[in-house]
Amino acid sequence: MSSSRSMEIIPRRNAERGHADHGWLKTFHTFSFANYHDFKHESFGSLRVLNEDRVAPRTGFGTHSHQEFEIFSYVISGALEHQDSMGNTEILSRGALQMTSTGTGISHSEKAHGPQEVHFCQIWASPRPGEGKGKPAYSTRHFTDEDKRNQFRLIVAPSDSSEVSLDREAEGPAPIRSQLRAYASLVDPGVSLTHKFHPTHSTDTRKAYIHVVQSSGYNPGNARGVKLRVGAQNEGPVIELREGDGSYLLVGKDTELKVENAGEGVVEFLLFDME
């Protein structure tokens, strides 16, 4: 990034993401995953997987295993039924955030509960050095629409920070063994917000990623629906994102992010702030 620019914005358009319709599962992959491979989009900072999944009623991912990654799900609609080898069984509805630190290894299943499709974002992050082989851990949080309305609501934060409680069902952000913070927002038409990135000791350009939720339905073509303008607060380029679109953000020191809902509908999005 040029030193004269406070923020570089690199779009990741909806139509360019990997996607598949398996009947029981309709999915998008922002990064290489499963049968989708793109060396230009393998990961970004500690963010390794950002899948937007729609699972048909009473179907889902059967029992399978993971290790070393931090895996969390953000439920958008429907109900997600979770079971794992640690003995956790839960049904998670809109606004739920489920965090699993897989550590030395866990097995789990994720299915649509009830008569409706479940729509959720499945996200993986790389753990901090030395913490990939820790003891597995599980926690859940719940955030109402009002918790997220017209603000950047912190939903995930590093487990070694003062922002989180390690209690499984505490209030506030879920703990993650990674240098990643995730925010969720619902922005009304005509509203603009600014975000001040978390302080870091590094003098390098920081990385962030923003993703607009595809709320109106599975659409593998050009993005549609809402309009979210994204740029630096004071200077630099501005980009317009629609449903399913995202952007890599390379952020200069002391630069703040500005977003504006320039459309007619409510915009739901996720922001990942990484050191």
Give 140-194 as a DSSP string: EEE--HHHHBTS-EEEEEETTSTT---STT-SSPEEESSSEEEEEEEE-TT-EEE
Q: Give the helix ranges, DSSP H, for 56-166.
A: 145-148
pLDDT over threshold 60, residue 112: yes
Interval 169-181 mean pLDDT: 93
In tens, the pLDDT along 13-54 reads 999 999 999 999 999 999 999 999 999 999 999 999 999 999
Look over the chain and give the mean of its residue pLDDT values, rounded to a whole number. Answer: 93
pLDDT over threshold 60, residue 2: no
Distances 66 to 71, 84, 105 between C-alpha atoms, Å = 9, 11, 6
Q: Domain spanning 7-274: which superfamily?
A: Jelly Rolls (2.60.120.10)
Three-state secondary-structure class, residue 137: strand
pLDDT at residue 10, as a whole number: 97
Please indicate whether residue 233 or residue 243 has the higher confidence score (pLDDT). 243
pLDDT at residue 198, as a whole number: 85
> Could you give the angle at the alpha carbon of 17 between the alpha carbons of 193 and 138, nearest 5°?
70
Read off the pLDDT band of 233 (50, 70, 90): confident
What predicted TM-score, i.e. pTM, was given to this entire model? 0.95
In tens, the pLDDT along 123-146 reads 999 999 999 999 999 999 999 999
pLDDT over threshold 50, residue 154: yes
pLDDT at residue 225, as a whole number: 87
Percent of the chain with pLDDT over 90: 85
Interval 195-223 mean pLDDT: 87
For the chain, the domains span 7-274
pLDDT at residue 200, as a whole number: 74
- What dihedral do alpha carbons 90, 93, 95, 100 form, nearest 10°? 30
pLDDT at residue 203, as a whole number: 63
Report the C-alpha gap between 5 and 232 in whole angstroms: 10
Please indicate whether residue 60 or residue 234 has the higher confidence score (pLDDT). 60
Could you tell me the strand order of the sheet in which 70-77 lies? 18-21, 25-29, 47-55, 118-125, 70-77, 96-101, 137-142
pLDDT at residue 167, as a whole number: 85
pLDDT at residue 202, as a whole number: 65
Report the C-alpha gap between 210 and 268 in whole angstroms: 11
In tens, the pLDDT along 248-265 reads 999 988 899 999 999 999
